[in-house]
Amino acid sequence: MSRIGVFVCHCGENISRTVDVEQVAAAAGNIPGVAFSCDYKYMCSDPGQNLLKKAIAEHNLTGVVVAACSPRMHEKTFRKAAGAAGLNPYVCEMANIREHCSWVHENREMATAKASDIVHLMVERVKKGKSLAPITVPVTKKALVIGGGIAGIQAALDIADAGHQVLVVEREPSIGGHMAQLSETFPTLDCSQCIMTPKMVDVANHPNITLYSYSEIEKVEGYIGNFQVTVRKKARSVDESKCTGCGVCIAKCPKKKIPNEFDQGHGMRSAIYVPFPQAVPNTPVIDRENCTMFQSGKCGVCAKVCGPGAVDYQQEDTLTVESIGAIVVATGFKLYSIDRKPEGSMIQGYGEFGYGTIPDIVDGMTFERLASASGPTGGKILRPSDGKEPKQIVFIQCVGSRAREKGISYCSKICCMYTAKHTMLYHHKVHDGQAYVFFMDARTPGKGYDEFWRRAVEEEEAVYIRGMVSRMYQKGDKIIVMGSDTLVGVQVEIEADMVVLATAVQPQEGADLLAQKLGISYDKYNFYSEAHAKLKPVECATAGIYLAGACQGPKDIPDTVSQASAAAAKVMTLFAKDQLERDPVVAKVNEKYCVGCFACKKVCPYGAIEEKEIKDRQGNVVKVIAYVNPGVCGGCGTCQATCPSKTVELDGYTDEQIMAMIETL
């Protein structure tokens, strides 16, 4: 006979305000099999947990239901407490009467009735629950970092410095991400290259880091501590082991007029190229779409001039499978573009700004390249259309951001600050020029941030106009900017030579596809979701996967680096153990009843189901049945719902448990 204890939490007032907790505890006491029930102000507090432990001992409880917040919040806490009191942790369950009840209903009578029902469901579930022994699995102490921007670089260096192997997979030919493109950085105006390049070189030289550049994640299998990751190394057409990085091929390539992505299309590169001089690795890559050799079979100059014979037109993509213990996702962001958007996209373009057809309306990243000493203009602010120095420049903040009608309602967080930076850089370079900024608000929380912004306004003579721009059009060689100053309440019209748009930060192209490979969740914009907005900001809900940088939400460099180091610390905590306990929610086959139809094997997404031969004493095979490899089983239960004879069962979610719950309805 079960002896279940039910503990109803007030959660301060969070639950008791709408749910009559005393009544719920009293009702629980009347459920057959419940030996003890009570209510308490804060179950998760130390006295609350002690109350639970004491009751387990005193009333000889065989199972426990804590009616409180979501199990996603405190299941671990209470299972640990129950375990400490000698109970099997898996016969401790939570009835979610906060997130699923008190917080979402106002009618006290109905909310109380619902809370009692939820408790009853869980009591029946625990009554049929079995003691489970946690499964221990080994931890592979090798981390994978996806994305080689500042987030990925920081995380990789931290983990590698702690003595663990790290694999960095970067999609582009070089690591560096967006930070490598920046000129100076707020809030101190450090030169971005100067603080970034040494870190990139450290990644290349670190004995514990293996860099897969120009590579992508093909497939991810397994689980925390034991992932199997397939990496696709795209064909570079240059053998990295032979190339010395001398650059002769680049100099001799006859195809030189290709817009350089690194300079936002404003500089030129050849068909065989390194994206920028400080690239890591410093190995060129052939852009096959623009290479004459690949397009017409004629040329081959680079192969001829390459001393060590590193150019290889026949090179193919290669796939490598790696055993990985933890994954840090650091795939960063892309910038919103004001172009006309494809049919069906939730993001709208800006027809009022000419849909990207006016050449001297550029985005913030282009401005960074123009201001950068290594950029296409050698650091001079010159406008793209005719190379003239703009004397009147207009910056517009919140383009795409905080604009629900354009499809994005969030704030991109970094634009107020980098626009202030841009006005300063402009003022330092064009002394007789005037910068105007259209803004909705100046959002500058952060150490030294408001001071930085004030400097732009008070000392660097930028004119800030509060209001949005309603229309822009080309008139002769000027851009007419029409907007309103909402503080003064007048219409403003500026004849600008150049306009810089602080466009919204969006998740990286293909972020959703990568998430699907990893099995992690993402929001409607494709930013990756953390396990808890406040208390688990770097963990994914999927164990063993961590987030760093702008892939989780818009972030500046200080925040990105902090998060990356935090993610690295989480990986190190994991790697501090040789063995890992994982939830024993895995399927088991009842060998007696299995008829060997292998319907389960066909549906198992993990390939966990193997064929097992049952032999008689003479060693003759009498039947072949299904066997679930507990190390591989992910615990989805699809096999159980599929099995026609119901002989494979998922521990913790047995038919018996679920039916018992349904019986209470």
CA-to-CA separations, 522 to 197, 222, 553, in angstroms, rounded:
31, 20, 10
State phi, psi for 336 to the nearest 5 degrees.
Answer: -60, 140
Return the number of the residue (486 or 645) whose C-beta is nearest ligand SF4: 645
Query: Does residue 650 interact with ligand SF4 by CB under 6 A?
Result: yes
Q: H-helix or E-strand containing 159?
A: helix 150-161
Binding-site string for ligand SF4 from residue 556 to residue 595, where x marks contact by CB under 6 A and - marks none:
------------------------------xx-x----xx
603 belongs to the binding site for another protein (CB under 8 A)? yes
Q: Is 303 among the residues that bind ligand SF4 (CB under 6 A)? A: no
Burial letters for 416-432: b for 16+ Cβ neighbours within 10 Å, e otherwise? bbbbbbbbbbbbeebee
Residue in 95, 628, 654, 657 binding ligand SF4, rule: CB under 6 A: 628
Which ranges of 229-339 would DSSP assign to H, the alpha helix? 248-252, 292-296, 301-305
Cα 593 from chain centre = 44
Determine if 220 is a binding residue for ligand SF4 (CB under 6 A): no
Q: Which is nearer to ligand SF4, 370 or 589 (CB)?
A: 589
Asked whether 333 and 508 are in contact (CB, 8 A), the reply is yes
What is the chain's alpha carbon radius of gyration, rounded to the nearest angstrom? 30
Closest CA to 401 of 457, 439, 436, 444: 439
Please say whether the beta carbons of 433 and 392 come within 8 A: yes
Retrieve residue 396's tokens.
Answer: 């517009």
CA–CA distance, 263 with 181 (Å, rounded to integer): 8
Would you say 185 and 598 are in contact if contact means Cβ atoms under 8 Å apart?
no
Q: How far is the CB of 567 from ligand FAD (least distance, A)?
A: 11
Q: Establish if 599 lies at the interface with ligand SF4 (CB under 6 A).
A: yes
- Of residues 525-584, those binding another protein (CB under 8 A): 529, 541-542
Could you list the residues that contact ligand FAD (CB under 6 A)?
A: 146-152, 169-172, 177-179, 182, 185-186, 216-217, 330-333, 335, 364-365, 368, 414, 418, 421, 508, 510, 514, 549-550, 555-558, 560
The residue count for binding ligand SF4 (CB under 6 A) is 29
Cross-strand pairs, 16: none
Q: Which does 633 bind (CB under 5 to 8 A by kind): another protein, ligand SF4, ligand FAD, none?
A: ligand SF4
425 and 183 in contact (C-beta within 8 Å)? yes
Q: Please answer whether residues 501 and 361 qualify as being in contact, where contact means their C-beta atoms are separated by less than 8 angstroms.
A: yes
Residue 104 touches which member of ligand SF4, another protein, ligand FAD, none, C-beta under 5-8 Å by kind: another protein
Residue reference for tokens 């939490």: 9
Q: From ligand SF4, ligand FAD, another protein, none, which one binds at residue 365 (CB under 5 to 8 Å depending on kind)?
A: ligand FAD
Q: Among 113, 193, 221, 348, which residue's Cα sits nearest to residue 607? A: 221
Q: Residue from 204, 305, 358, 661 that binds another protein (CB under 8 A)?
A: 661
Q: Is residue 593 near another protein by the rule CB under 8 A?
A: yes
| Residue 243, binding choice from ligand SF4, another protein, ligand FAD, none, Cβ under 5 to 8 Å by partner class | none
Any idea which residue has 């003595």 for tokens? 163
Could you say which of another protein, ligand SF4, ligand FAD, none residue 100 binds, taking C-beta under 5 to 8 angstroms by partner kind?
Answer: another protein
Please give the Cα distance from 606 to 615 (Å, whole number): 27
Minimum Å gap between C-beta 117 and another protein is 6
Give the residue with the Cβ less far from ligand FAD, 37 or 397: 397
How many residues appear in the chain? 665
Position among 1, 592, 616, 621 found at the interface with another protein (CB under 8 A): 592
Residues near another protein (CB under 8 A): 70-72, 96, 98-101, 103-107, 109-111, 113-114, 117-118, 121, 512, 515-516, 519, 521-524, 529, 541-542, 585, 592-593, 603, 605-606, 634-638, 640-642, 646, 650, 653, 655-656, 658-663, 665
